[in-house]
Amino acid sequence: MDKKIAKIYVDRDLCIGAASCVAIAPGVFALDGENKAFVVDPNGADNETILLAAQSCPTKAIILYDENGNQIYPD
């Protein structure tokens, strides 16, 4: 990935609690009491791992933005 991930957003309406993001990047994502993913630490993994975690989401509930506010995943 060329661009630095500056913001990670989890769309709670899309999240189904599959937890694939937690399995791939446990330092970044966790599940809350509603079994929805949330960001624990946006710096808890490198960009490549965060992208892999976002790509693993079956509903594309994880949206990644660069430092200019441009959406970089999903594109």
Query: Token pair for residue 55?
Result: 């790509």
The CA dihedral of 36, 68, 74, 40, to the nearest 10 degrees, is: -20
Percent residues over pLDDT 70 in the chain: 97
Residue 30: C-alpha distances to residues 19, 63, 71 (Å): 8, 16, 22
Give the pLDDT band of residue 3 (cuts 50, 70, 90): confident
Domains of the chain: residue spans and CATH: 5-70 (3.30.70.20)
pLDDT for 48 equals: 97
Three-state SS letters, 31-68: ECCCCCEEECCCCCCCHHHHHHHHHHCCCCCEEEEECC
- Give this prediction's pTM: 0.94
